[in-house]
A and B are shown apart, each in its own frame.
Chain A
């Protein structure tokens, strides 16, 4: 079969370069997400606040009231626990935001609606469609941190006070890093689980991560849990990305003890890279056949 390039006439050519088209596509996808968020703003705010509110209400209001305060009796001990819990509540909110805004949204789009098929027709590389989800998830994570912190620091019984100390240098770097890492986790989960298995994801991934992620205790408090001199629980939780997020929040919002920042930053960067790498790979595989 004779194949000559010259005889092949081109009908219509692309109007713009891939780079130019990708930038506008990214902008449009973000704009779309912002419009959708704005439509459901109250839903977003309530969804974001319900868990932190319940945690603070039960642990910092009800428990001290009924003489079941955690961290020992008396305002001082209860306040010390509040100081540990409040940053943990912010951390866990950032994580849930990543899971909610990405993993659950993807489960729907990959699932029965197949909306994802339209989204990946955007005139840009496929990875950018996934990356946009992460950017949008990160922004929502930051937004949720901003609304959770003030609420978490006021829902307390009288006499109980979280000792907050804002370290702005850490806040403006670590909170975004945590939000990126948790959005990456959302992308990885959303692309790894079949839509019908989302329940499994909550039971076997999200619950263990939240309960063993240092939301209700700081890392150093786990030291007494050991077996023959091995601090096994401390070792175990180090595999949990949430512990670095929560300890980071403690470093950012309190003067209390926390994992060393030299550990928190690189490990979170590592988790973010791992989640994003695997998540983008999974996304590509799910979309292309």
Chain B
């Protein structure tokens, strides 16, 4: 597979625009390759997310940036400087830990002041107090300074952890699943707060998450990881519309996959021959060899669900209907293709009329919206 680094943005190679960079960075734990020759740049001021399933190496990548892990081979650069062996306490980087790691013997204010007080020469007390107060205001906890850590709720502790990091005005802020322990509503609020803060402060944020919604809604750019490698990186839109493989399409948003054998079609299009003998056309964005196993990916919102067959439609049976407000999600069953997900906008449903489980219906999609992807 070609390096995602090359194609997404040639500008990313200009090392001046990069706050941090991995060059063939590899981290091995015994037999496990936690980071497999990562080559990747992080741009100044961007909100970047590492997205991937558990154990794919997200935390490892972050810990190499923070200075807790030394790469087995390869280079980590911060601000153009090689920092492989630079210990964490000498890096202008701060991290928000997954479980906060707040100091239980210190008050909220003392926790936040901790980073400032490590500086030499020691900063002015009044100055520290002012910065702590401002940080508390920023995370919307004004007046909480004298509190003890155990007197704070989970969400409040999370914000203290955030304040403790941003008060140092790091060049790079690393966040390791900082919202994982929060309930859905608080999480949504914190996501918005994080985004606002990032814009206000102009600090580069690197967020680790395995929640694709979180990554999609917050990031300027997302790196999809798998087995210690970055499979693809790009803007949320680019990843959603132009995934380079079935793995990415599956991880970013929902998609329907029709599996089969690939063959070339006219004008850069391609065809998928399913085991049941049906032929489907679709776009091809990545080079594919004839007779390779491939999948046709169609997003649920791109499928049209109708009561009567229009040209080239497939007959299905409606299995389930979930009302989601603006959309209705249908699960439909096709005799040969299996179950498919269809998302119908409210307006479309209003004009076409609703469907009930058990109904016979027809599905169809524009050929240009179907994407043929390597099966990996």
Chains A and B belong together in one complex: no
Give chain B's interface residues, CB within 8 Å of chain A: none
